[in-house]
Chain A
Amino acid sequence: MRLFLRQLRRRPTALVGFVLLVALSVVAVFAPMIAPYDPMKLSVSHRLEAPSAEHLMGTDDFGRDILSRVVYGARLSLMTGAAISALSACLGLVLGIISGFYRWPALVLMRIVDALMAFPSILLALAITAITGKASLTNVIIALAVVYTPQMARIGYSATLTIRQNLYVEACRAIGVSNVRVMFRHVLPNFVSLVIVQTTFIFGWAILGAAALDFLGVGTPPSVPAWGAMVNGGRIYISRAPWMILFPGAFVFMTVLALNLLGDALRDMLDPQLRKL
């Protein structure tokens, strides 16, 4: 933790990312207290109002307050990103470590991983959402978790292959420690830094991916205040009410930028060999 804080002090960009992320998390947690209006409340008399003291970010085509919807959108986006990155990290690591330890599962699992990585992420996510049925948050999480699991599996696989060559792993096996214990107690902790860095990046990509699915109309239902869906809703009013796309899009951008800045700093801190990338 002390190392992390020192790194933050040394890199102003990382500090900006960290502060932005903390601010967004506070907004997400205290959304009901921060949002000035009910994000779902329709008001035909206030539709397409420009930003003003009453509505700081203006209103949308249904007269809903954009600031309130953006604030609730932060909660949804961060929760979606966290769920996708946690799910893909857990699944990917289990698959990767097992493949790194056992030859036959590796032959099958890693071919599946390679094949899944050949599908463009957005196309695979679209196909999975089409199969899972109607637009829902759960379907978005499942689709994007399937998309990002192979990346974590690859990292888990290559790290396990390297670490299992170490003498202490051999020593564990010699004294009869079970494979499961060796995998998760002695191998996994040795590449946990790589996992943290990758999870931070996946968090950002997941938020971008979920926003893209929402924008395309196959993500969360349109009534839910999701940033991507809000931008999509503002498309037809682009010349009349540009604030409908400006603010929600800016929040997607800020969140992903904060995670990327932080991920970069973490990578430098935890893996100095990658620093030059």
Chain B
Amino acid sequence: MARYMLKRIAGVLVTAVVVLVIAFFLIRLIPGDPAGVALGPEATPERINEFREQMGLNQPLPVQFGIFVGRLLHGDFGTSIFFRQPVSQVILSRVETTFWLTCAALLVTLLIGVPLGVIAAVKRGTWIDQLLLLAALVGVSLPSFWLGLLLILLFAVDLRWLPSSGFPSVFLTGQIANLRYIILPAVTLGVAECALLARLTRSSMLDVLRTDYITTARAKGLKESRIIIKHGLRNAAIPIVTVIGFTIAKLFAGAVVTETVFALPGIGRLAIEAILSRDYPVIQALMVVVALTYLVFNLLTDLVYAVIDPRVSYR
């Protein structure tokens, strides 16, 4: 087990280094001088030289990479060109919205995806199963930006039940009711993942429902609902739990489109603002933060999986 865990951690560390290399060199592929790009067209040659010296841009590339990694380890992502503030501060100011959105979307995913998958597995081969499978395909095929606008049209414009945009901070205002701003975005973001989770749950449940201990439980005369929930779902949940880490990372990424549709001041919206204003330090920092978050979630998932199901570490 320990050997498996060390191997996984080493693998993730190597991938993390490659992530940093890609994020570092991708930004350097931008045509022109990074100092000129960072300071804008009005910068004087003296200011550009000073900036190059300050940021180590006159050093050889491997040295620059070393400086970049050193700064990252101290949480220093540089200064935003657009906001004129440290990048880490800009990102931290946007974390709250994305945090609430991801949590709420995960809740939608679990509350709808798992029960639908269980029902589809129990009713395997019937019209209910076919309908749920089709609904799952419809869910993954829906463009999130379109679904979001349709929900705004129905629930915000026509029925006026929910707000269509913005998100006042819950932490700063202390108003938990502000979470109603997150309902429509969470449904928009959760639908595709919910469809994928329903398919995974169905497949995992089908595997379990074919096992001998389920036959034994039935032979003992246990109630079908007890067999499905206590013996079936509990065992089928292992692969489901392991994809939750992966799902969180995907929801975090999906926030880019959803936050734009609902004008939410989160990390995803920040990514778009940074791209449109060519704020390269912010783009680079977001790439690093999001990719490393994904790697950490995946690693934790693998380690938890190895603890829950030790057979994994011997495969």
Contact = CB atoms under 8 A, between A and B. Distances in A.
Interface of A: 13, 111-112, 114-116, 118-124, 126-131, 133, 204, 208, 211-212, 215-218, 228, 231-232, 234-235, 238-239, 242, 245-246, 249-250, 252-253, 256-257, 260-261, 264, 276-277
Given A111-B14, A119-B290, A260-B141, A218 B276 contact: yes
A131 B29 contact: yes
A264 B291 contact: no
Given A129-B275, A252-B146, A253-B146, A119 B137 contact: no
B153 interface: yes
Contact of A212 (B137, B257, B271, B291): B257
B149 A238 contact: yes
Interface string B12-33: 0011001101100011011100
Contacts of B272: 126, 216-218
B269 to A, nearest CB: 10
A211 B22 contact: no
Given A215-B257, A216-B272, A238-B153, A120 B249 contact: yes
B137 A208 contact: no
Can you list the 7 inter-chain pairs with the closest CB atoms, starting with the nearest? A120-B253, A249-B146, A115-B18, A257-B141, A256-B141, A118-B291, A115-B19
A119 B291 contact: yes
Contacts, number: 142
B140 to A, nearest CB: 6
Contacts of A121: 253
A217 B269 CA distance: 13
B143 A114 contact: no
17 contacts: A119-B287, A119-B290, A120-B250, A120-B290, A122-B254, A123-B271, A128-B26, A129-B275, A130-B275, A131-B27, A218-B272, A231-B145, A238-B149, A249-B146, A252-B143, A253-B141, A260-B141
- Secondary structure of the B side of the interface? helix
B260 interface: yes
Interface centre among B15, B141, B260, B275 (most CB of A within 10 A): B141
A249 B149 contact: yes
Contacts of B275: 126-127, 129-130, 218
A115 B203 contact: no
A120 B252 contact: yes
Given A133-B31, A228-B145, A242-B153, 19 more contacts: A13-B130, A112-B22, A118-B291, A118-B292, A118-B294, A119-B19, A119-B287, A120-B252, A120-B253, A122-B257, A123-B287, A212-B143, A235-B149, A249-B146, A252-B143, A256-B141, A256-B143, A257-B141, A264-B137
Given A111-B14, A260-B141, A130 B146 contact: no
Interface centre among A13, A116, A120, A250 (most CB of B within 10 A): A120
A274 B88 CA distance: 44
B290 A123 contact: yes
- Secondary structure of the A side of the interface? helix
A208 B143 contact: yes
Contacts of A131: 26-27, 29-30
A118 B295 contact: yes
A276 B141 CA distance: 20
A235 B146 CA distance: 10
A257 B138 contact: yes
A242 B15 CA distance: 45
Contacts of A245: 146, 149-150, 153
A204 B141 contact: yes
B210 to A, nearest CB: 10
Nearest to A116: B22
Nearest to B295: A118
Interface in B263-302: 271-272, 275-276, 278, 280, 283, 286-287, 290-292, 294-295
A225 B19 CA distance: 36
Nearest to B22: A115
A249 B272 CA distance: 21
A120 B275 CA distance: 15
B203 A277 contact: yes
B199 A277 contact: yes
Nearest to A130: B275
A217 B277 CA distance: 12
Contact of A118 (B15, B31, B138, B152): B15
B18 to A, nearest CB: 4
Interface centre among B27, B31, B146, B291 (most CB of A within 10 A): B146
